[in-house]
C-alpha cells in the first residue's frame, strides 16, 4: 500500500513568506477600499479570495512540513489555521451570495464583510460546536472508564476538565450574545470582550484540532524499512523487573517492525532499549526490555543498552550518544505508545536525531486522556512563540472590532 506522506524527503524547511506578503497586500487593499468607499469593488470578494489562497498556501506548507519534519509545532499550526482560513472563505462567499440574491447595497455589503471578519472567531466556534460536544462526550466516557479501571487520580480526570472548559466556553459565548443591551459604548465593550475571548478559545481549539491531525499523520505512517537502530522509549516495570503491559506493547511494536524489515529487506536493525532505573524499581527499564527481547529470541549482540535516561528528552539524547559511540551512525526509528509518537518525535528532533516513530496500541479508554496530557504538554512548551500568536490574534480581533464600529 503506497504511503500518503513521505517523511524526511525534503531538505529545506517550508517557508510561508508568500502568505505574509499576500496578507499585507490584502490589508492594504481593504484599507484603501474602506477609506475611499469604493463601491465597485466588493470587499467580501477580496477577503474570500485571500482566505482561499491562504488556505491553499497553508495546506501546501503542511504537506511540505511533513516531508521535511512531521514532528514540529508547525505541523499543528499549518493544518489548524488552514481550516480557519477555509471557514472564513466560506463566510465571505456566503455574503457574496446574499448580496447577489437579496440586492444588498455596496455599503451594507462592506459592513457585512467587515462584520463577518470581526465575528469569524465566534462563527468558527459555533460551527465547530457539534464537534466539540461529541469530542467532549467521548472524552468524559473514556475518562469514566479510565477511573473505573485505573482508579481516581488527578491525571485521570484531565479529559473531563478539558471537556467542561470547552463546552463551558461555547455556552458562555452563546449566552453572552443573547443578552446585549445598553449604550453604543457598552455594546462596543461587549463585542471587544467576546471577540477577544473567542480569539483565545479559537487558538486553543485550533491547537487541539491541529495536534489531533498531526498525531494521526505520524501514528498511521510506518517507518521506512531501512532502519539501522530501533530506540524503544521506557516506562513502568513490575516489581519483579518485567515490563508492564504498556512497556511490553512498545517492545512488541519494535519487535514486529524488526522482523518485518528482516523479512522484506534482509536488513537487521539494532535495538536501543532506553530507560533508567527509578528509586522504586529493581532494575533499569532498559535492562527489563533487554531481558524481554532476548526471551523473544533476539540475540544479545543486536541490543545496545541506554540505562541513564529519566525523561523522553533524555531517552533521545542518551540513545543518540549510545549510537554515536558505536562509530556506525545510521537511520533510526523509535517505538512508543501511539499517543506519545508526536511528542517523542519532537524530542528526537530537539537533540538533532532524525528518527521516525511508530506507535503501539493501547486500551481505548486510556488513549483519549493520554492524548489530552500530550496536548497540555504541547501548550506548556514554546510559551513565547504561543504568546506571540495569541497576542497577535487578540490584537487583530480587537482592531477589526473597533474598525467596524468606527466606520462612518
Total-model pTM:
0.81
What is the rounded CA–CA span in Å between residue 138 and residue 119?
A: 29
Q: What angle, 0 to 180 degrees and rounded to 10, lies between the N-to-C axes of helices 120-127 and 73-102?
A: 100
Main-chain phi, psi angles of 359, to 5 degrees: -115, 130
* pLDDT tens profile 325-346: 999 989 999 999 998 899 899 9
What is the band of 62 on the pLDDT scale with cuts at 50, 70, 90? very high
Main-chain phi, psi angles of 364, to 5 degrees: -60, -35
Half-sphere CA count of 84, side-chain side, radius 13 A: 26
* Dihedral angle sign, alpha carbons of residues 358, 364, 366, 371: positive
The per-residue pLDDT for 115 is 64
What is the rounded CA–CA span in Å between residue 350 and residue 313?
A: 8
DSSP 1-42: ---SS-SS--SS----HHHHHHHHHHHHHHHHHHHHT-TTS-
DSSP 173-187: HHHHHH---S-HHHH
What is the rounded CA–CA span in Å between residue 6 and residue 28?
A: 38
Range in 8-12, 205-209, 251-255, 370-374 the model is least confident about: 370-374
Main-chain phi, psi angles of 274, to 5 degrees: -130, 120
* pLDDT tens profile 103-115: 555 555 556 556 6
Amino acid at each position: 500500500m503506497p504511503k500518503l506522506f513521505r517523511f524526511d524527503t525534503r531538505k529545506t524547511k517550508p517557508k510561508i513568506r508568500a502568505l505574509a506578503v499576500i496578507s499585507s497586500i490584502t490589508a492594504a487593499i481593504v484599507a484603501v477600499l474602506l477609506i475611499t468607499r469604493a463601491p465597485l469593488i466588493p470587499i467580501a470578494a477580496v477577503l474570500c479570495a485571500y482566505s482561499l489562497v491562504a488556505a491553499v498556501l497553508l495546506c501546501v506548507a503542511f504537506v511540505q512540513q511533513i516531508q521535511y519534519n512531521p514532528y514540529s509545532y508547525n505541523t499543528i499550526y499549518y493544518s489548524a489555521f488552514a481550516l480557519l482560513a477555509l471557514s472564513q472563505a466560506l463566510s465571505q462567499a456566503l455574503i457574496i451570495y446574499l448580496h447577489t440574491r437579496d440586492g444588498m447595497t455596496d455599503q451594507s455589503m462592506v459592513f457585512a464583510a467587515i462584520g463577518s471578519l470581526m465575528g469569524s472567531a465566534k462563527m468558527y466556534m459555533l460551527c465547530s460546536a457539534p464537534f466539540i460536544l461529541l469530542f467532549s462526550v467521548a472524552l468524559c466516557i473514556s475518562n469514566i472508564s479510565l477511573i473505573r479501571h485505573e482508579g481516581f487520580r488527578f491525571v485521570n480526570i484531565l479529559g473531563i476538565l478539558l471537556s467542561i472548559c470547552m463546552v463551558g466556553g461555547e455556552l458562555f459565548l452563546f449566552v453572552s450574545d443573547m443578552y446585549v443591551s445598553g449604550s453604543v459604548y457598552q455594546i462596543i465593550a461587549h463585542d471587544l470582550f467576546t471577540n477577544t475571548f473567542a480569539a483565545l478559545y479559537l487558538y486553543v481549539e485550533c491547537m487541539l484540532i491541529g495536534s489531533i491531525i498531526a498525531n494521526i499523520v505520524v501514528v498511521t505512517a510506518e517507518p521506512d524499512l531501512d532502519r539501522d537502530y530501533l530506540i524503544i522509549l521506557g516506562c513502568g516495570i513490575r516489581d519483579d523487573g518485567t515490563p508492564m503491559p504498556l512497556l511490553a506493547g512498545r517492545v512488541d511494536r519494535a519487535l514486529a517492525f524488526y522482523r518485518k524489515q528482516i523479512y522484506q529487506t534482509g536488513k537487521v536493525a539494532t535495538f536501543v532499549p532506553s530507560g533508567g532505573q527509578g528509586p522504586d524499581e529493581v532494575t533499569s527499564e532498559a535492562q527489563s526490555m533487554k531481558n524481554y527481547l532476548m526471551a523473544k529470541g533476539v540475540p544479545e549482540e543486536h541490543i545496545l543498552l541506554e540505562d541513564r535516561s529519566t525523561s523522553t528528552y533524555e531517552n533521545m539524547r542518551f540513545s543518540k550518544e549510545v549510537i554515536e559511540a558505536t562509530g556506525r551512525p545510521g537511520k533510526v526509528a523509535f517505538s512508543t505508545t501511539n499517543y506519545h509518537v508526536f511528542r517523542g518525535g519532537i524530542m528526537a528532533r530537539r537533540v538533532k536525531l532524525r528518527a521516525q516513530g511508530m506507535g503501539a496500541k493501547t486500551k481505548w479508554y486510556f488513549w483519549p486522556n493520554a492524548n489530552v496530557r500530550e496536548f497540555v504538554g504541547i501548550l506548556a512548551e514554546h510559551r513565547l512563540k504561543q504568546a506571540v500568536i495569541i497576542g497577535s490574534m487578540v490584537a487583530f480581533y480587537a482592531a477589526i472590532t473597533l474598525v467596524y464600529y468606527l466606520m462612518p
